[in-house]
Chain A
Amino acid sequence: MNHLSDLLLGRLGRDALPFWEMLKDPTTSSIINGIIATGAAAMVILGALVVAGLLTWYGKWKILWRDWLTSPDHKKIGIMFIIIAMVMLLRAVIEAAIMRAQQALGLGGGFLSPEHFGQLFTTHGTIMIFFMAMPFLTGVINHVMPLQIGARDLSFPVMNTVSLGLTAAGAALVMVSLVLAPFSTGGWSGYPPFTESAVNPGAGVDYWIWAVTLSTLSSTLTGINFAVTIYKKRTRGMNLMRMPLFCWVSLCTAILMIFGMPPLTVATALLALDRYLDFHFFTADLGGNMMNYINLFWAFGHPEVYILILPAFGIYSEIFANFSGKQLYGYTTLVIATMAIAVLSFTVWLHHFFTMGQSAHVNAVFGIATMLIGIPTGVKIYDWMLTMYRGRVRFSIPMVYALGFLMLFTLGGLSGIILATPSVDYQVHNSLFLVAHFHNMLIPGLLFGMLAAYNYWFPKAFGFRLEERWGYRAAFSWIIGFMLAFFPLYALGLLGMPRRTVTFFTPAYLPWTLAAGLGALVILFAVYCLIMQLWQSVRLRQENATPIGDPWDGRSLEWATPAPPPEYNFPVLPEVYSHDPFTEQKSGGRAYQRPERYADITMPANTAMGVITAVTGFLMAFGLTWYMWWLVIASGAVALIAVIARGYARNTTRVIPAAEVQRTHERWLDDVARTTPVTRDHEHTRANRGLAVPPEQGAIQ
């Protein structure tokens, strides 16, 4: 019996339950930590049950399967990526708030056990990078980029569903680790030898390894997909230097993904070999060297930083131009700056470990290389300011995020230069100053960018605008909450407080941790506002509908389509003659024209490959984590068979007849003719059905 359960469950035992410790050894500390962990696990299970229950109640399973899970449509895949990101954001923000609360009460104690705290900072970092930021930006690029370059889909739609499946599997694995604990305590960077089996033999590090592996594989595939799409699927006339800046950053991001992700896949694979098969890549003995891991990790890690920030730069470029009613300043300069950043990002990884004992000259070279990146980044900041200059700035929600970004990100750049200086880094490395710095880059940079994109392109994706009162509340709460939560961490870092410490014994830290705790509360309120905003928006979707598809007087091709756009995006692929093609069409009176002739459109057929990847990927990773070898072999076999079977599939496309395309398109054109265009003054009113008065008239009052 015992033998059988070993075979079936591997090393999964009762002690994996989050409340086991509390029952076995009921001290105050273990009860508090047990209740928090059990509550989290209950939320995961309840959430899954509620979603399943609602789907059954409303009979939506079939729609979910047909229109979403098996759909190869880049727009729907993009939306699903963003849904994953938002769910994971919610979890990781709550974790952050718990950690801030712990440190606010943490002078010499607090309520969390060190192990629990270790898991919290590890999952918070892992989720925010791999399962919030990456899916969010992947989703936005997925949704918007093909529309902007005038394509019908990505080059490899099936691979796109596989990418989504891999990310979903990784995210599910991290969620399951709440129910069957523990997760790793090694931080999101997982430095060995701490993560080697000699020190941490449990399942936690294995959860981390496989979740990250799934995510990096997904991103590598995504990168290939984006790059090929941009190279091969631009519409006629859309040469590279006419692409919207967002497409340029997508291209740079894709290139970074292709070259930046594999080092981490390799690093985690080697670490897995160490842990599972007793290899010695990163052990101290038998020829191993932990420094190799650290180099590999940051060979991924630094390009990753720019994978995270470049899409946001692209989003801000669109937003500054659009809400200033003006052409983007210095397009060519911005393209050069973006490329420069992408290239330089591969040359600076060593600044993540100045303190590891290499020679001063090596440190100095990498420090200078790092400061060099500051130049093109600074140029971008000024380009955006000059985009507003002589424009007509409308303070819409995306613009609030963008202005907050401009000021706060610059401050983060300043602290980045401080960290890039080796002699000063020797003082602030590994401290909360570092934590404050990268949050300063990632919250105003990446997250504000993604939230701005969410507000900006939501009407395009769903056909109605997001509610604005809660939207403004969310935006301002994010800005204030960020400042309150992270500026104190700069001070704490300068005062020598290390990162990842569960408590502290220096009373001088207390006022600052209290302030940061208050900031965390404001951020929680911001998240609440985001939820309310979505709820109100869905409620008011008729009033705020923008079916014509151009609610903001957009400049690029995605705004020339209905909202939401049809599966094939464009009934006839457009031809492009300049930058800002849609603005040009509108000013020249050539927008919303009836095409002379319609043709059949061939689109990819639905495929279950994504779902199969998600399920087998998850089960395989889960089996590996808990040593359930039968599960690993079974799911691996299913995945292999599915891949081979896919090779024999012949009905991979679906034809949409010209008549249907014509019918859909002409119905929309009739709507356009019936709709009253609005000026920018009425952008935020119900009158805005998504048709804009031509740009010049709309902008000058």
Chain B
Amino acid sequence: MNISNLGPVTGIRGNPGTRLIRCWITLLSITLLAGCSDGHISFLDPQGPIARAQYEHFWFVIGMCLIVVLPVFIFTPLIAWRYRYHGKAVYKPSWAFSKVMDTLIWGVPFVVVAIMSVVLWQQTTTLDPYKPLDGPQKPLQVEVVGFDWKWLFIYPDQGIATVGRLVIPADRPISFRLTSASVMQTFFIPALGSQMDVMNRMVTRLHLKASHTGTFKGRNMQYNGRGFHKQQFDVDAVSPEAFDEFVQRVKQQGQPLGRQAYTALSRRGTSEDVARALGLHGDTVRFSRVSGALFSTIVNSAHADWAAPVARPPRAGPAATTNGDSTHPGTTMPARAIPLRQTTRATSLPQADHQHRETAQ
């Protein structure tokens, strides 16, 4: 056998035995997903590298745990039956300790946990949602704002934004910065990878990638009131050309994201309600001419400057996105232009986004 022919040993790929297990696992997943015709809804049907790794780690954990768990399932009924009252088996009412058994019942779980801990450490650091994904292409920047019962997706480099539908290029890393304009919510696209909490006045990060084109389900996972169940969206992973086309189309046909649109967004309601408020049909809204400073304005709970030029914000490169964007303090609109919060802020707190770990303060 030529060693160079062996591919990288990843996950549980390998000898025929494990391949059989893999087959069964796939079958099981298909059974779970049977009758599912509404897009990719779960990591059991992974559509990106993160979700795939999570899927494999999931089965690894189950496999390891079975070493400890299976004996319980097998021996509990056996022992209970063999040593039943009226049974013929040996009876030793004061037998209460065995060194061998105690070594086994402490030792085996310990070894299992030790092995799992090593893998856990590797996987947790490798799949850290804050860690940028490797790849030849520059990641697409997307800023996500959770409102009460819809998501606003801002494409800062393109100067556009959408509600109700997230369009991304396939096979290109996406770098998300996330916040909430309301209560705590959780941004989640199961088929692509990790979920991430979003909180008002704080920024969290997430990196995902779709391996190929397709439509996936995304949603909020953290209860935030009576419209929670409707806070869903579709994710369209499209080819790079289609993505460029999408950007051009939104730039030309999108609604302006001005004061009126922002007021509609801030009102409690679903994306359909936003569309209706703007005189549109359906549950998707596209905005053009979006200020690059909008995200940090929301994070700083500052008043947006709808009068400022809405073209591309000053942006030297990816590094600039992690610095606190200016909020144009000199040119803010009169108070209450945006009903962001009920309370009036005394001072503008420094944005927590100066460093990499915004939320680990």
Among residues of A, the one whose C-beta sits closest to the C-beta of B200 is A284
Q: Which residues of A contact B249 (CB under 8 A)?
A: none
Docked-complex contact A502 and B229, CB < 8 angstroms? yes
Residue-wise, chain A 414-426 has the 8 Å CB interface mask toward B (1 for contact) of: 1001100111101
Among residues of A, the one whose C-beta sits closest to the C-beta of B29 is A494
Docked-complex contact A194 and B105, CB < 8 angstroms? no
Residue A325 at the chain B interface, CB threshold 8 Å: yes
Q: Which residues of B contact A286 (CB under 8 A)?
A: 343, 345-346
Q: Which residues of B contact A367 (CB under 8 A)?
A: 120, 124
List A residues 275-306 near B (Cβ within 8 Å): 283-287, 290-291
Cα–Cα distance between A268 and B146 once the two chains are bound (Å) = 26
Residue A63 at the chain B interface, CB threshold 8 Å: no
Q: Which of A287, A386, A506, A680 contacts B41 (CB 8 A)?
A: A506
Cα–Cα distance between A325 and B58 once the two chains are bound (Å) = 41
Residue A545 at the chain B interface, CB threshold 8 Å: no
Residue-wise, chain B 294-305 has the 8 Å CB interface mask toward A (1 for contact) of: 000000010000
Q: Which residues of B contact A362 (CB under 8 A)?
A: 360
Q: Which residues of A contact B229 (CB under 8 A)?
A: 114, 501-504
Q: Which of A118, A385, A417 contacts B76 (CB 8 A)?
A: A385
Among residues of B, the one whose C-beta sits closest to the C-beta of A511 is B35
Knowing A285-B345, A324-B83, say if A360 contacts B184 (CB, 8 Å). Answer: no
Docked-complex contact B196 and A506, CB < 8 angstroms? no
Cα–Cα distance between A421 and B51 once the two chains are bound (Å) = 14
Interface-side segment among B217-225, B253-261, B316-324: B217-225
Among residues of B, the one whose C-beta sits closest to the C-beta of A434 is B221
Q: Which of B86, B125, B301 contacts A284 (CB 8 A)?
A: B301
Among residues of A, the one whose C-beta sits closest to the C-beta of B221 is A430
Interface-side segment among A145-153, A254-262, A403-411, A635-643: A403-411
Residue A390 at the chain B interface, CB threshold 8 Å: yes
Interface-side segment among B6-14, B155-163, B187-195, B330-338: B187-195
Q: Which residues of A contact B3 (CB under 8 A)?
A: none
Docked-complex contact A413 and B360, CB < 8 angstroms? no
Residue-wise, chain A 491-503 has the 8 Å CB interface mask toward B (1 for contact) of: 1001110111111
Docked-complex contact A424 and B61, CB < 8 angstroms? yes
Docked-complex contact B184 and A194, CB < 8 angstroms? yes
Docked-complex contact A375 and B110, CB < 8 angstroms? yes
Among residues of B, the one whose C-beta sits closest to the C-beta of A431 is B221
Docked-complex contact A696 and B38, CB < 8 angstroms? no
Residue B25 at the chain A interface, CB threshold 8 Å: no
Knowing A501-B228, A508-B35, say if A368 contacts B93 (CB, 8 Å). Answer: no
Docked-complex contact B301 and A393, CB < 8 angstroms? no
Q: Which residues of A contact B153 (CB under 8 A)?
A: none
Residue A379 at the chain B interface, CB threshold 8 Å: yes
Knowing A284-B201, A391-B91, say if A355 contacts B186 (CB, 8 Å). Answer: yes
Most buried by B among A284, A327, A508: A284
Interface-side segment among A65-73, A328-336, A458-466, A533-541: A328-336
Q: Which residues of A contact B65 (CB under 8 A)?
A: 413-414, 417-418
Residue B311 at the chain A interface, CB threshold 8 Å: no
Knowing A198-B342, A357-B359, A360-B131, say if A699 contacts B193 (CB, 8 Å). Answer: no
Residue A382 at the chain B interface, CB threshold 8 Å: yes
Q: Which of A290, A495, A501 contacts B44 (CB 8 A)?
A: A495
Knowing A371-B116, A390-B90, A391-B83, say if A418 contacts B58 (CB, 8 Å). Answer: yes
Residue B130 at the chain A interface, CB threshold 8 Å: yes
Knowing A327-B94, A495-B41, say if A430 contacts B194 (CB, 8 Å). Answer: no
Cα–Cα distance between A357 and B204 once the two chains are bound (Å) = 6
Docked-complex contact B37 and A507, CB < 8 angstroms? yes
Interface-side segment among A185-193, A202-210, A685-693: A185-193
Docked-complex contact A291 and B359, CB < 8 angstroms? yes
Residue B307 at the chain A interface, CB threshold 8 Å: no
Most buried by B among A324, A327, A328, A378: A378
Cα–Cα distance between A378 and B65 once the two chains are bound (Å) = 11
Docked-complex contact A388 and B80, CB < 8 angstroms? yes
Q: Which residues of B contact A511 (CB under 8 A)?
A: 35
Docked-complex contact B223 and A421, CB < 8 angstroms? no
Residue-wise, chain A 301-328 has the 8 Å CB interface mask toward B (1 for contact) of: 0000000000000000000000011111
Docked-complex contact A696 and B301, CB < 8 angstroms? no
- How far does the Cβ of A76 sit from chain B's closest Cβ, in whole Å? 35
Q: Which residues of B contact A385 (CB under 8 A)?
A: 72, 75-76, 79
Q: Which of A118, A191, A331, A507 contacts B226 (CB 8 A)?
A: A118
Q: Which residues of A contact B201 (CB under 8 A)?
A: 284-285
Residue A356 at the chain B interface, CB threshold 8 Å: yes
Q: Which of A113, A327, A358, A368 contacts B96 (CB 8 A)?
A: A327
Cα–Cα distance between A247 and B273 once the two chains are bound (Å) = 59
Q: What are 19 of the A-B contact pairs (CB < 8 Å)?
A: A194-B224, A359-B130, A360-B125, A360-B128, A360-B131, A367-B120, A368-B117, A385-B75, A388-B83, A390-B95, A407-B72, A494-B42, A494-B43, A496-B41, A501-B228, A507-B38, A699-B85, A699-B93, A701-B86
The 10 closest A-B pairs by CB, nearest first: A426-B194, A357-B359, A360-B128, A508-B36, A114-B226, A430-B221, A284-B200, A357-B204, A496-B190, A382-B105
